[in-house]
């Protein structure tokens, strides 16, 4: 039909890519969802079904095609104490309320705050994530049978060299299938997915959380719900921004924020733990497998359910070494090696390097991506404020007859520059007529207006008159509104 737009995934090549990517991600989700269930203190089936409902829902309502949302470690860490102290019903109630908070925050435009996240924080976020993913694999390589090492090496070799042979079937899927066949056929005893916990055998049923609907319940769950909402949005929006950069496309961050809330509400009503975007699984989907549409996200959730419920016994035989190999490759593909190259470090400003290091240190120390992003962004803002504050300058010209001096101020006037500005004038020796020319300056905040009021006061105390001229429209408006109201007049 003329004017209709055919979905890209209807193309046979794209469809094949999306289907295979969804299968690979579903396989990778199983051990991780089980591990996150352990962190939250719930049954493995809770985390697995949470990953199913999150992925399927966000595929429909999310704003970033190709991004994977599921049960995550960040959310499990936040919500685990609530489950241990008050019970599973309160955990479910907190997940639903967190979804409501995310919808409200999304509608209020919290996604727009992403523009204030500097690139150095983004690089630190990516690098720290790669480190955390690798660290999470270390226990799977420690104190294990000797056969794990050759299986892991074989898996890595297939992941590196198979793409050079062909790209029709994703290398991770080939690696997982081949290593599983080898271990089962040869009867090699190594840790498997089944060792992580029993897979579910029935479908989830929706219902209300088993808690009293009182203000006391709200008081208990609200702080946890808000923490889940903020951590989930931070990780999801950062992941969406990263996928935007990888695919060179734009996504609707506001829709993504609201979509995350809807997904958590749906997940909560099915009695499952919450979640958010998973950058590790998203990298498998987008960077390793080449997926680009919502179909891969939907199928990741659908395949996960089928694998657990229908093919549980088969999936349980997958050796953990195969999945560890995939995740190690994800680490190397995710890490921004260019950012730590000696040539790059020599050219990059010291402030940006500091921000990157602070971000990585905070994330690795706390295992919380949201903490690293917030601390890194604040550090970047402080460094920027210090640098810009010193750009404000004052140039003085005294009339030949000595009756008037014109001080020309240039630069951005805001809180960091205000104290320095006050000390740039010679109050004792200036002529009786003082003109402050702001044609090359801009007033940004009340601190700058207060500084100008202080300057006028200091001159007035010495019997000198001050005239402030040539303010641009925005500066004149804020100066007229606040002048005389901040320092008690002059």
**Nearest Cα to Cα of residue 416 among 377, 374, 453, 383:** 383
pLDDT in tens, the chain (490 residues): 444 566 776 788 889 999 999 998 998 888 778 878 877 888 888 989 999 999 999 999 999 999 999 998 778 878 888 998 999 999 999 999 999 999 999 999 888 887 778 889 888 888 887 888 788 888 888 888 999 999 999 999 998 988 888 766 778 888 888 999 999 999 999 998 888 777 777 777 899 999 999 999 999 999 999 889 988 898 899 899 889 988 999 999 999 999 999 999 999 999 999 999 988 889 889 988 889 999 999 999 999 999 888 888 888 888 989 888 887 887 887 788 989 999 988 888 888 999 999 999 998 888 777 788 889 989 998 888 777 767 778 889 998 888 899 999 988 888 887 778 888 898 988 999 999 999 999 998 898 899 999 999 999 998 899 999 999 999 999 998 888 776 554 4
- For residues 325 and 174, what is the distance between their CA atoms, to the nearest angstrom? 12
What are φ and ψ of residue 105, in 5° steps?
-65, -40
What does the pLDDT read at residue 167? Answer: 66
> Rounded mean pLDDT of the chain?
87
Yes or no: say if 392 and 376 are a contact pair by the CB < 8 Å rule: no
What does the pLDDT read at residue 4? Answer: 53
- For residues 376 and 382, what is the distance between their CA atoms, to the nearest angstrom? 10
What does the pLDDT read at residue 244? Answer: 93
What does the pLDDT read at residue 231? Answer: 83
What does the pLDDT read at residue 5? Answer: 67
Q: How many CB atoms lie within 10 A of CB 386?
A: 12
What does the pLDDT read at residue 175? Answer: 87
Euclidean distance between the first and final Cα of the chain, in Å? 73
């Amino acid at each position: 039909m003329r004017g209709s737009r055919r979905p890209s995934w209807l193309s046979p090549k794209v469809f094949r890519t999306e289907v295979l990517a969804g299968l690979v991600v579903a396989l990778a989700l199983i051990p991780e969802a089980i591990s996150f269930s352990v962190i939250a203190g719930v049954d493995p089936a809770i985390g697995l079904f949470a990953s199913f409902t999150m992925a399927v829902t966000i595929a429909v309502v999310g704003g970033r095609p190709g991004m994977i949302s599921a049960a995550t470690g960040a959310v499990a860490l936040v919500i685990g104490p609530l489950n241990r102290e008050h019970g599973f019903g309160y955990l479910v109630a907190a997940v639903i309320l967190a979804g409501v908070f995310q919808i409200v925050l999304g509608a209020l435009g919290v996604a727009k705050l992403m523009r204030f996240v500097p690139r150095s924080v983004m690089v630190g976020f990516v690098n720290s994530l790669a480190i955390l993913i690798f660290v999470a694999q270390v226990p799977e390589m420690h104190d294990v049978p000797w056969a794990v090492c050759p299986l892991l090496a074989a898996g890595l070799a297939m992941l590196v060299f198979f793409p050079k042979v062909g790209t029709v079937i994703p290398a991770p899927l080939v690696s997982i299938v081949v290593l599983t066949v080898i271990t089962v056929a040869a009867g090699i005893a190594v840790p498997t997915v089944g060792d992580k916990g029993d897979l579910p055998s029935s479908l989830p049923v929706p219902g209300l959380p088993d808690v009293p609907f009182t203000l006391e319940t709200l008081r208990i769950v609200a702080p946890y719900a808000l923490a889940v909402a903020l951590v989930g949005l931070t990780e999801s929006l950062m992941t969406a921004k990263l996928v935007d950069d990888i695919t060179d496309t734009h996504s609707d961050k506001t829709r993504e924020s609201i979509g995350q809330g809807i997904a958590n509400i749906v997940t909560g009503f099915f009695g499952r733990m919450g979640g958010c975007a998973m950058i590790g699984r998203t990298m498998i989907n987008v960077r390793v497998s080449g997926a680009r549409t919502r179909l891969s996200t939907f199928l990741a959730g659908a395949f996960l359910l089928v694998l657990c419920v229908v093919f549980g016994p088969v999936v349980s035989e997958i050796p953990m070494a195969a999945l560890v190999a995939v995740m190690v490759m994800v680490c190397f593909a995710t890490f921004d090696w260019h950012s730590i190259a000696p040539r790059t470090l020599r050219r990059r400003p010291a402030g940006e390097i500091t921000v990157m290091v602070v971000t990585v240190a905070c994330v690795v120390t706390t295992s919380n991506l949201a903490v690293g992003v917030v601390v890194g962004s604040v550090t970047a803002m402080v460094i920027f404020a210090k640098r810009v504050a010193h750009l404000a300058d004052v140039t003085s010209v005294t009339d030949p007859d000595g009756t008037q001096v014109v001080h020309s101020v240039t630069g951005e006037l805001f809180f960091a520059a205000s104290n320095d500005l006050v000390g740039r004038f010679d109050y004792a020796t200036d002529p009786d007529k003082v003109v402050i020319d702001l044609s090359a300056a801009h007033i940004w905040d009340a601190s700058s207006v207060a500084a100008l009021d202080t300057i006028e006061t200091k001159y007035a105390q010495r019997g000198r008159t001050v005239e402030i001229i040539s303010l641009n429209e925005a500066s004149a408006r804020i100066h007229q509104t606040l002048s005389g109201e901040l320092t008690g007049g002059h």
